[in-house]
Amino acid sequence: MAKSTLADWRWQHIPFHSAIEVFGGAIALFVSYLLINLQESRRGTSFNMVIAGALLVMGLFDIAHALVSPGKLFVWLHSSATFLGGLIFALVCLPQAWHQRLTSRLLYWLAFLSIVVITWTFLRPDSIPTMSENGEFTTVAMFMNSVGGILLLIASLRLLIQFRKHKNTDDLLFILHCSMFGLAAIMFQHSFLWDVSWWGWHLLRLLAYGVALWFALLNEKHLFSNIKQKNKELKQQSKQHLKSLKDVSKQYKMSEHQQLATLSCLSDAVIITDRKGTIKLFSESAEKMFLYEEAELLGENIACLMQSDIAEQQSGFMSHYTPKKMSTVIGKNRDLVAVNKLGDEFEIELTINETYFASEPAFVGLIRDISERKQQEQVLLQAKEQAEEANLAKSQFLANTSHEIRTP
């Protein structure tokens, strides 16, 4: 139809053409950015960085092409987009080891060089070769588009081989993308400015960008699906953790009640302190023994329940204590003198051990009031001494009596 029925048909609509090119270029830049992100998560195509670089360059040149009026620069920018895009796309044919060394730095350089070239051609349009004469494209323009198209078709074949090997759907989409761009580039040499063929390969390029957009949407859908699934899993885990937390809290409360019930049954006082001697727990038996309420002593130092000299010794022990080392105090029974709220001193038997309180290292002291036992021991000692004195007096009396009897 382009060579017969519609051979003389021309439709010059610069705004529509610019809209197509800008739309396609924007898609190219967006997909390039998406491929960079997919590379970081090891998803996408088998050649993310190369394809991202090609789309980046093509997108920049296509947008620049859309901004200029028809003329030499107009055709040059389009031909450069096709030629450079095909050249970079053809890099997929290089060995896989080469692709593994590519980083996003390559894309920064490609973007920088593209902007430099575009800026230079805008400033010095006379430096570029003639691209069209009398509505027909020159040999230079045809060469750039033909070579770019052939390279794009070669890239599509390499992607096809890769797809047959790994069955990556993203590779399949870019096979279609490169094929459309390659065919559009080859159609270029059979077209004239604004004729049916010219608009035809523009439509084909737009469809190729549509395939790239389809790729982007599929990956976005996959991403949102993953986010939704992760969110669902996190909610489920949150519910499980909350249930576990409630169970642990319930067990902790039960354990705490059991401990308090056990402590209340003990006649011996139980005091728990941290490593600095600050009182953290004061049992009911301790309240009876020391005449303090628990609330009065929580947060106070244990030294307030001891004689001053003993308190200094205890403070030194706590400040120099090292866990898992031999100690003359831990696990040993010691007889000390304690002081109650009224200031009265009384003798106690103290046993200290290591423990944990509120998940922090602590000391637990088991205290027994041995005042009565000491008094009984004193009474027994006095009775023993009296008995020994009486026995000695008896022995002396008998000895004296025996001596007097034997003496005339």
For 119-156, how does the pLDDT look when each residue is reduced to its tens digit (9 = 90+)? 999 999 888 888 888 767 888 988 998 999 899 899 98
Nearest to 32 by CA among 178, 213, 301, 155: 213
Q: Give percent above pLDDT 90 in the chain.
A: 11
Looking only at the bridges linking them, the beta strands covering 269-274 and 279-282 are antiparallel
- Cα 127 from chain centroid (whole Å): 53
Q: How far apart are CA 243 and CA 248, in angstroms?
A: 9
Listing DSSP states for 157-170 in one string gives HHHHHHHHHH--HH
- What pLDDT score was predicted for residue 84? 94
Span(s) in the chain for CATH 3.30.450.20: 263-383
pLDDT in tens, 156-178: 899 899 888 888 877 877 888 78
pLDDT in tens, 365-383: 888 888 888 778 777 877 7
CB atoms within 10 A of CB 301: 17
Question: Is residue 386 over pLDDT 50?
Answer: yes
**347 in Cβ contact with 371 (< 8 Å):** yes
- What pLDDT score was predicted for residue 223? 64
Give the bridge partners for 234, in sequence order: none
Tell me the Cα Rg of the chain. 48
- What pLDDT score was predicted for residue 253? 62
Q: Which two tokens stand for residue 381?
A: 């000692």
Question: Is residue 337 over pLDDT 70?
Answer: yes
- What pLDDT score was predicted for residue 2? 43
**182 in Cβ contact with 150 (< 8 Å):** yes
Question: Is residue 190 over pLDDT 80?
Answer: no
Span 221-237, mean pLDDT?
75
**243 in Cβ contact with 235 (< 8 Å):** no
Mapping DSSP to helix (H, G, I), strand (E, B) and coil, where does residue 235 land? helix
| CATH architecture for segment(s) 14-222 | Up-down Bundle (1.20)
Q: How far apart are CA 321 and CA 362, in angstroms?
A: 12
Tell me the residue type at 308.
S
Nearest to 51 by CA among 298, 197, 219, 233: 219
Class of domain 263-383: alpha beta
pLDDT in tens, 64-111: 988 888 888 888 998 999 899 999 989 989 887 787 777 778 889 999
More confident residue, 35 or 219: 35
**b (16+ CB within 10 A) / e for 336-369:** bebbeeeeeeebbbbbbeeeeeeeeebbbbbbbb
Nearest to 198 by CA among 132, 251, 260, 122: 132
**138 in Cβ contact with 119 (< 8 Å):** no
- What pLDDT score was predicted for residue 3? 47
pLDDT in tens, 206-220: 787 777 777 777 766
Nearest to 118 by CA among 72, 61, 69: 61
Region class of 379: left (phi > 0), else alpha (psi between -120 and 50), else beta = alpha
Question: Is residue 320 over pLDDT 80?
Answer: no
Span 267-277, mean pLDDT?
84
Span(s) in the chain for CATH 1.20.1070: 14-222
The band of 53, judged by pLDDT with boundaries at 50, 70 and 90, is: very high
- What pLDDT score was predicted for residue 231? 78
Q: Starting from the edge strand earliest in sequence, which strands make up the sheet with 345-357, in order?
A: 279-282, 269-274, 360-369, 345-357, 333-339
Q: Which two tokens stand for residue 373?
A: 């036992």
- What pLDDT score was predicted for residue 114? 94
